[in-house]
Structure 1
Amino acid sequence: MTNLSVKHSSIFRNVTPRADAEGANSQRLHEFIVNRLPKDGTPLADAARHHFAKPGKMLRAKMALSAAKLLKIDQAAALHWSTSIEVLHNASLIHDDICDGDKMRRGRVAVWAKYGRDVALTLGDWLIALSFELAAEAAQRANTPMLVKILAKHMATTTAGEAAEFSIQSSYSWDHYLRIAGDKTAPLLTAPLEGIAAMALHGDAAGAIGSYFRHLGEAYQIANDILNFRAGDGAADCGSDLARRAPNAVIVLYRERMEGGEALAFDKWCKAGSNDGLAFWLQKIMASDALTQSAGRMQGILDESIRCATEMPVELQTAIAPVQNLLEAICLQSVAGLDR
């Protein structure tokens, strides 16, 4: 039995942002977003302020600001662009919580659980409108009209990825699973840098940026899927994705090796929607090598993301380092103590 581990990428290992700069950017971004939220006395104001009371790490926005500074982009344009991505990301989180029934977000009650589904749905829609308004303002300031198109393209891909989650039967193919994982996770990581590159006239970097975040997003999703079966992704119960019939790398790799009657029985159970028999299938998955198979594939995809990163301009490599380091840490956490 050998202990699984995630290899850290040497090109990012020694790149750490200054804490004071990180704190200043966090405050600047948060204040800018709060000032653009619905005004007090309007129907969505309380729900919006509740959600953004804890804004999260704002990695996407900080990455855009860092790249803009390195590439000497107008800071006002960069601020509008970075917050447009962050606002759109938060809209997707609010809608995700409704779809998944998750009652907590960032250690607080989710918007839908506190204010109801209707308010949460309309707040998410309102934030999408704000995101495009901010992107249009960034485009005007930077004289880069294609920013709005970049935002629309990545929002469409994210939405399609979310919709594909609703059909677990189609996710038994590994390639199809990766499309769902990449479509869900990669677009709103790609968009911040793609927009900054467009402003800096580095349009030829879009391909490398997209490939890099596609692979990194896939690896991150696999890590979350492994953690779901180790009760480490915030889910209340181990294997909650199996109970919800949600696409999950561990489930897909377990299903791939099934044959004959066992495969038919599992498919029938999934289609039935009942959780009678959940403990049986969970035990079967945990006794298989699906977790270690998932870990191995995750490492391969991480390695490919590093190769893609080396094809970017050096300024962008510096900007992505905090995101890379954080997601690598999550991947490492997912396999800690997992043997093969």
Structure 2
Amino acid sequence: MNETRLRPSPISATVDFAAEGVQHGFLRLPYSRDDSAWGSVMIPITFVRNGKGPTALLTGGNHGDEYEGPIALFDLARSLKPEEVSGAVIIVPAMNYPAFLAGTRTSPIDKGNMNRSFPGRPDGTVTEKIADYFQRTLLPMADIVLDFHSGGKTLDFLPFCAAHILPNKQQEQKAFDFVTAFAAPYSMKMLEIDAVGMYDTAAEEMGRIFITTEVGGGGTATAKSAAIAKRGVINVLRHAGIVAGAVDTGPTTWLDMPDGRCFSFAEEGGLIEAVIDLGDVVTEGAVIARIYSTGRTGEAPREIRAVMDGILCARHFPGLVKPGDCVAVMATVTS
């Protein structure tokens, strides 16, 4: 192992992971700054343990402008009682806490994208130090990991729970069983276009069961999207046997992202016009968006066309796009 990785984490927990009962505390990361020479980043955490059983690690705010996860997890942290639990539940509603407080995707301190910072470094940036603590302390404790995401300020998604295709088919099947239990309106076999440094990858390489979500977007949460997240996290705990009770099932449509053709990117900047809406069925070659030049009138818009049959599962949210922006994501319906 790299010598740097052998150094102890600078983060200390104010909760005791060996104790029974419920504890509300912090992951305290020393952070010296202009307004606080001996200051700290105080990341809220709740730990609930009761007897023997699996451990679930539940996280939101991996990106700071995504809100369904924090809503569901702050609510769960105040309401989950030890007597309801068999095993342990670790709740971190806002992983990248500086980004969460700023309402930004990345940290305002170091511009770190938490979901591209694993395995982290104990002597790195603030974001890398948080990632390192999850890598070496929290993930090894967990059996099942649920990391909430949504589209943030720049994307909007159909509400889905997802897992990845994995080399270990037993691990993969267990993950998709949890996706089924989450019972979102849509369930996804998800393809990542940039998996390097991801929390997902770190958990999966440890053999942990990892599931994630994309529940809405636009830098806000709706009553419907928050309700999906709240119901889903309880369903996951029930499926794991950590919380008693039957999974609250509902209809779900299974989607697949088979390859890179799912993604469409802007080659020029401008004003975007959505031609289809989320959930609409599209055939190969159909126009899914138009991009108008903002510097001159009278020019024909650039057309973005689907390169596969499927449905629109994600779209660019702001009205203006830049070259390289992802403007649309397609998926195929499998059931």
User: What TM-score, normalized by structure 2, do the two folds share?
Assistant: 0.30
Q: Greater RCO between the two (CA within 8 Å, min separation 6)?
A: 1
**Larger helix share, 1 or 2:** 1
